[in-house]
Structure 1
Amino acid sequence: MRKIIENLSHHLDDYECMWNGIEDIYMNKTGEKIPDQFFFAMSGFCSFAYIKTNKADIKRMVSFGDGRTKKMYEFLAPIVGFNYHHIECKSPELALTKAKKEIDNGFPVVIGALDMYYLEYYTKLYHKEHIPFHYVLMIGYDDEEKNIFLYDCGRKEIIKLSYENLLLGMNAEYKGLCKPNTICTIRMDRPNSKKDIFKSAMKLKSNMFLNPPTKFLGINGLKKLSKEILNWEEELGKQETDKILRNIVEFCGSVPTTPNRLNGISKKDEVVFMCSRDKMSKVLIELGKEYKNNNLVKSGELFKESGKQFEKLCNIFIDYILDTKKDMKLASDVILDIAEIECSAYQLVSKGLDEI
């Protein structure tokens, strides 16, 4: 049997794989044009949490934005106006069977996480590097040719993926983020407008940062981190501190990755380590111009400056890990700079939202 969902337009927007297909569904449903990285920025970016977990492997959890797929969906789904259901199957074969039933009923389905080692259309990664954290939108299948049809955030055209590689790729697990053999069904009957989504999401994000309910979240958490980071090595030792800093740096990348310097490679990194502030900046500036709102444009410029401070912070941490230079006082000062910049940015966002 062969089935493909026709007339579903797709937009190219790399590094937002878990949202790209859902944005496709949204734009096809509403006719709205949204900025690149829109759902990603509205959900996971630019929050903050600092948690001490002495019994865990990483004893100081520092999060400058929650990029966990399920948490992002949980936050944004009611704001956008869609329903979703993650189905975790016992086998990849069962996951494929359920996905095909969705296609038969006329609904595209999010597949993932997938290990990019098995995605034959990514020639630089295929059978070369395991990256078990990628999502695609399945829009069809062909039992005779034994492949699925999909849209990928990094490709414009409809892509074929063999059943064999799909089944191998679905057996991927990213600890704390996803389980193997998972698909996600989407229903989007009457989604809200882009403006309503933007206002609702940014109002919540601004309030969570500026008026956090506890001392380890938002602006309070950043100030707490800036003080306590000075004592990490004395409290935990160099090895544990290195582990914490490495985790922070990796998750500051456009995608979670180890910087080349930490791998002993002199080549420039393919991703930037701006903790996605560059992406939030672009969304705010684009919508600020569209809505003729200078406060939103200025807030976007501030997030761009915050992103530059994150690059500086990551380099300080990398120097510390490599024993090139130890300067936690400078790191503490940069964290305070980030706190002040983002506090001003969110205050401008709040003003801007009242004007549109």
Structure 2
Amino acid sequence: MKNIINLPHVVCKYTCMVNGIGDVYRFKTGQTFSDEFLMAVSGMASFVYIKNKKAEPPFMVFWGQSIKNQYRNLEQVLGLKIKITEGKSFNLAMKLLREGINSRNPVIIGPLDMFYLEYHEFFNKKHAFPHFVLVVGYDDNDRKIFLYDCDSADLRKLSYENLKIAWEKDEPGYIKKNAVITFSLSDIPLSFDESVKAGLILKASQMLNPPIKSLGVPGVRKLAVEFPDWEKFLGSNDYKMALENMARYANSPPTLSRAFNDFTGKREDFSKLLKELGTITHEKRLLSLSESFSTSGKLIREISLIILDKLDGKSDRRKFIPQLLMKVADIEEEAYGEIKGIYNE
């Protein structure tokens, strides 16, 4: 059996977990939200500090929220209903995929290792993980799915064989293998201005007043205090993995490769988004606040490069990381406070 849904697609690199939602949302509502906006309000350019003795590594830093929290945030801001089914068998995941397509609802799948995506430039060359795509069709006779990737304008094909390999690994602390994300839209979506206000207020509240002190701005301060003792509490391999994790998830895509050279924890993208929103909504204060996040992004890049230099055996400037983290916390605490002030919260 073969079934394909025709859908307009927008290319927006490094927005894979929301790119498909953006395509469907724009098509069904006529709203013009950028994928950068969806990424920002979902929880990117955030902060999470996890300590779990049973995890590898036991200390983990993410410069954005977990994918489940990101989708919950999008439910609030856009009025979506999102369901994640993960960790099941490949055959069950394919069954859910087909059910979505047959009911005319594209589905997002992941986490994928781009090394096994035969249409991608990384195929058999570079492991980049995790990645997500929007599936809009399947062909059981040819044994291929049809998908849109945030990196490409073209409708792509992926064989069932390569999909199974690309899809078979968990991303610890993030999402399990063979995840299928289904979603539906509200009958009455919020207006553009209402969604911008709701999204920025939610983001500011989560960064300033998180439910636990290892998240948001308090989490950055907690890490700044505890980072000097990491090496004492962790074995050498766990410590190396913790450093790698901290730098990797500051980059887009999440990789230690300097070739991509972002390492801003999505702050640079958030800065550009605030400029765009400031222009569209005529709110000049957002334009000035964009500079704050550009600055914090540069500090996060500096932290990441210090880590990479240490890992590469080039130099050891780790002693500067705590004070750089405190600067990030100070800048973002003030900036998010101003965002709440703009919307009288």
Matched, 1:33 2:32: yes
Quote the residue 1:228 is aligned against: 226
Which of residues 118, 121, 130 is equivalent to 2:119?
A: 121
Per-residue deviation at 1:202? 1.8
**1:332 and 2:330 matched:** no
Q: Counterpart amino acid of 2:282?
A: K
What are the Cα deviations for residues 290-343 of structure 1, in whole angstroms up to 9, with x where unaligned?
111111111111111111111111122233344543334422221121112112
* Code of the aligned partner of 1:57: E
- What pairs with 1:255-274 in structure 2 (closer than 5 Å)? 255-260=253-258, 269-274=259-264
Change (3 A) 1:146 1:61: closer
2:11 matched to which residue of 1?
12
Aligned to 2:183: 186
Structure 2 portions without partners, runs of 5+:
none
**Are 2:88 and 1:74 aligned?**
no
CA deviation profile, 1:110-160 (whole Å, cap 9, x unmatched): 1222232221111x3223334342211111223343322211111112222
Residues 1-356 of structure 1 mapped to structure 2, 5 A cutoff: 1-6=1-6, 8-54=7-53, 56-66=55-65, 68-88=66-86, 90-122=88-120, 124-190=121-187, 191-236=189-234, 240-260=238-258, 269-354=259-344
Shift of 1:221: 2.9
Contact 1:281 1:301 in 2 (8 A): yes
Structure 1 residue 22: Cα displacement: 0.7
CA distance in 2, matches of 1:318, 1:324: 9
CA 1:93/1:206 → structure 2, altered by over 3 Å: closer, same or farther?
same
Residue type at the aligned position of 2:148: Y
1:254-280, CA deviations, whole angstroms, 9 ceiling, x for partnerless residues? 1211234xxxxxxxx124111110111
CA distance in 2, matches of 1:343, 1:219: 6
CA contact (8 A) 1:36 1:283 kept: no
Quote the offset at 1:251 in angstroms.
Answer: 0.9
In 1, are the aligned partners of 2:72 and 2:82 still within 8 Å (CA)? no
Give the aligned partner of residue 264 of structure 1: none
Identity of aligned residues (%): 37
**Aligned-partner residue type, residue 83 of structure 2:** H
Answer yes or no: is the 8 Å Cα contact 2:51–2:60 preserved in 1: yes
Structure 1 residue runs of 4 or more that deviate by more than 6 Å after TM superposition:
none
2:77–2:199 contact (8 Å) kept in structure 1: yes
AA aligned to 1:318 is L
Q: Equivalent residue of 1:77, what SS?
A: helix
Higher Cα radius of gyration: 1
* Structure 2: distance between partners of 1:215 and 1:146: 48
Q: 1:237 to 1:24 in 2, by over 3 A?
A: same
Q: Which amino acid aligns with 1:252?
A: A
Could you tell me which amino acid in structure 1 is paired with residue 15 of structure 2? E
Q: Is the 8 A contact 1:296 1:348 kept in 2?
A: no
**Deviations, residues 28-58 of structure 1 (Å, cap 9, x unaligned):** 1221112342211111223334344455433
Cα 1:317–1:145 shift into 2, 3 Å: closer
Report what 1:263 is aligned to.
none
Preserved CA contact (<8 Å) 1:35 1:286: no
Q: Aligned in 2, Cα 1:119/1:249: closer, same or farther, shift over 3 Å?
A: same
* C-alpha separation in 1, matches of 2:67 and 2:335: 25
Q: 1:215 to 1:90 in 2, by over 3 A?
A: closer
* Structure 2 length-normalised TM: 0.89
Using a 3 Å threshold, how does the CA distance of structure 1 residues 167 and 277 change in structure 2: closer, same or farther? same
Please give the alpha-carbon distance, in whole angstroms, between the structure 1 residues aligned to 2:130 and 2:141.
29
Retained in 2: the 8 A contact 1:298–1:348?
Answer: no
- CA distance in structure 2 between the partners assigned to 1:255 and 1:131 by the alignment: 7
- Return the alpha-carbon distance in structure 2 between the equivalents of residues 98 and 219 of structure 1: 38
SS at match of 2:316: coil
What is the root-mean-square deviation of aligned Cα atoms in Å? 2.5
One-letter amino acid of the structure 2 residue matched with residue 101 of structure 1: E
- Secondary structure of the equivalent of 1:37? helix
Give the Cα–Cα distance (whole angstroms) in 1 for the partners of residues 224 and 86 of structure 2: 39
- Aligned residue type for 1:306: S
